Amino acid sequence: MDSSRTLLLAGIEQLGLEATTAQIDSLLNFVDLIEKWNKAFNLTAIRGRDEMLRLHILDSLAILPFITGNKIIDVGTGAGLPGIPLAIFMPNVQFTLLDSNSKKTRFVQQAILELQLQNVEVVHSRVEQLGRDGEYDAVLSRAFASLGDIMNLTEYLLQSEGVLIAMKGQVPELELKEMSRSYSVKSIVVPGIEAERCVLRINKI
């Protein structure tokens, strides 16, 4: 068994998740694609394969227990993170992967084709121009801005009971003090990563 597969299997076990051989193969193939396209498209600043597995794949999968709903949009998906790893593990959930960078959405489209993911669509657009009012159960964000700004930009996408799921490093105490909506915050441990990580669920209502 190669070292990448060993690292990934160990990390998924540490996260308390179960994976089929097909899911592991898909995740490794996805990393292969990122490595291949990264040379020309600069999809991510992370170059080492093991670091990609930890900081991209396992980091994405660490929030899986906090995902709810049947229709989810990943805003600012970049190279398809966390959307593609989550979609591999949640085949019955529909994912929209949104980004305003056309090079990155071209890559994500190709990845979806090569990985044969039936539950993912890619959209090249700015979030404020998407115009899908109340269509989603959850908005995913790898926290590209302050929580207040993200909520203001994305809340129109959520149905009334919808939730923003934001991935952050340290718990953003100052941002949370300004939050007028109900929320929950959980620290998460990503295998092989020492830096702090947390996930926030902020209710639309």
Q: Which of 137, 125, 117, 130 is nearest to 72 (CA)?
A: 137
> What residues does 136 pair with on adjacent strands?
158
Range of the domain at 132: 3-203
DSSP secondary structure string for all residues of 79-113: TTTTHHHHHHH-TTSEEEEEES-HHHHHHHHHHHH
CATH of the domain at 60: 3.40.50.150
| Residue pLDDT, tens place only, 2-46 | 999 999 999 999 999 999 999 999 999 999 999 999 988 888 888
State how many domains the chain has.
1
Rg for the chain (alpha carbons), in Å? 16
Is residue 119 within 8 Å of residue 91, measured between CB atoms? Answer: yes
pLDDT grade for 47, boundaries at 50, 70 and 90? confident
Before 82, cis peptide (omega within 30)?
yes
- pLDDT tens digits, residue range 138-189? 999 986 788 989 999 999 999 999 999 999 999 999 999 988 899 999 999 9
